[in-house]
Amino acid sequence: MNPLYTYIKQKLIAASYAETEASALARWILEEEFGFSTLELYAGKDTDFPMEKRNRLNDILVRLARFEPIQYIIGKTEFCGLTLKVSSDVLIPRPETAELVDWIVSDCPQSGLRVLDIGTGSGCIAITLAERMVEAEVSAWDISERALAVARENALHNNVRIAFSCMDVFNEPTGTSVFDIIVSNPPYITESERAEMERNVLDYEPETALFVPDTDPLRFYRRIAHIGNQMLKPGGKLFFEINRAYGSETAAMLKYGGYSQVEVRSDSYGNARMIKAIKR
């Protein structure tokens, strides 16, 4: 292996990273940040690495030692085959969110559908749906102007057109837009679940996009379901990413709230992680 790979891996192990994670990070840093080819990565000889790059590498290693996510350090991530900018203003897209997107695309093959993504963050859901769904007309809301700035940049980079709006879901929506699909990955982690979470999430990702009170874990789902009753067409579909601990409660809320054919689906790890409901 390249001596730089070995150096990075050893530094990360010394900073309490597991060996498998240290190996993956070392490979990602050299390939994504410094453009190493497979041949250069696995070569056993020194590579020309000027001082500017050595300073950048040392900065990366210092930040990783503080458990800052590599995606924020590098400033980008991959999602559903797309490259997206990320910063501490937005959540890092997760694999289970990609599974939700896959479900929507396979379940809604029609062309020209009108889609609304509520709480868009980096824009990962909206952008991927706009890229994959034929002639879809996609809108996206977020309460954070800083998050919307990231999402707009990602849409431009991936050559899709999305109507972004700064909206608080707890305000009454304006206008008369009617959608075929509303999707949301809202805050759903309860405060009592903080103790189970890793430092790289707690210390760096935006709290407002993560947490809800223990006393009202479904507050965003209930509110967005209400918006769906106003803004979905009859027979329109509502999709959520959900807290695996509240699948049955979320399903019951939707059935009581005017939706039918409610379906909870598990992710690839067997956790109840997404839900679909149809407006009656």
Q: Which residues are annotated as a binding site?
A: 119-123, 142, 185-188
The residues, ordered by sequence, that sit 6+ positions from 255 with a Cβ below 8 Å of its Cβ are: 262, 277
Map tokens 């879901």 to a residue.
Answer: 169
DSSP 8-state symbol, 143: S
Max Cα separation, the chain? 65
The residues, ordered by sequence, that sit 6+ positions from 196 with a Cβ below 8 Å of its Cβ are: none
Q: Which two tokens stand for residue 43?
A: 């070569």
Map tokens 């206008």 to a residue.
Answer: 175
Over the range 3-31, which residues count as b (16 or more CB within 10 Å of their CB) and which as e? ebbeebbebbeeeebeeeebbebbbebbe
- Provide the annotated binding site for S-adenosyl-L-methionine: 119-123, 142, 185
Neighbours of 48 (CB within 10 A): 5
Strands 137-142, 162-166: pairing is parallel
Report the C-alpha gap between 280 and 234 in whole angstroms: 6
Distance of CA 24 to the CA centre of its chain: 20
- Provide the annotated binding site for substrate: 185-188
